[in-house]
Amino acid sequence: MIELVRWIHILGATVLLGTGAGIAFFMVMAHRTKDPVLIAHTAGIVVIADWVFTASAVVLQPITGLWLASLLGWPLSEPWILLSIGLYVFTGLFWVPVIWIQKRLRDLARQAAQERVALPAQYYRLFRLWFVSGFPAFFAVIGILWLMVSRPTFG
């Protein structure tokens, strides 16, 4: 049972990191074109991917993490576990607004595409906010993965 739960937990962590990096890459590449049609299409797929993959992994990670800790007899008071949980919450504080921003970017691009006009200034402001929000969340996930693999002792 331990190996199965560990495998599911690692798979979820991989999905979080991979989907996040993939979404960022495709959004940036679409944004660089300044083409509302392409951006609307890409952002539409990104919104779906975030709900299907990221949201599933976000729900699965704490469940499998707590289950794995219980199976292995690791107290949740271990500093590396507490730090991992803190970074997970920190990541969520960035991810939740990003979901809304991605939907808004999609909608602004769709509207510009339908009206055959350039992207509005609001799109560019929101894109900058989306872009900047990705860095702390990405590095927090990297930190969580490091903690998960190395399980350092502090003190």
Q: Flag whether pLDDT at 12 surpasses 90.
A: yes
The answer to whether residue 32 sits within a structural domain is: yes
Is 127:105 a contact under the CB 8 Å cutoff?
Answer: yes
Task: Tell me the pLDDT tens digit for each residue of 105-151.
Answer: 999 999 999 999 999 999 999 999 999 999 999 999 999 999 999 99
The answer to whether residue 55 sits within a structural domain is: yes
Give every CB contact of residue 11 below 8 A, 6+ residues apart in sequence. Answer: none
The answer to whether residue 76 sits within a structural domain is: yes
Q: Flag whether pLDDT at 155 surpasses 90.
A: no
The answer to whether residue 120 sits within a structural domain is: yes
Q: Which domain holds residue 45?
A: 2-150
Over range 71-97, report the average pLDDT. 95
Task: Tell me the pLDDT tens digit for each residue of 26-78.
Answer: 999 999 999 999 999 999 999 999 999 999 999 999 999 999 999 999 999 99
The answer to whether residue 155 sits within a structural domain is: no
Among 122, 142, 128, which Cα is nearest to 20's?
A: 142
Residues in the chain: 155
Query: Taking every pair of C-alpha atoms in the chain, what is the biggest distance, in angstroms?
Result: 60
**Domain total of the chain:** 1
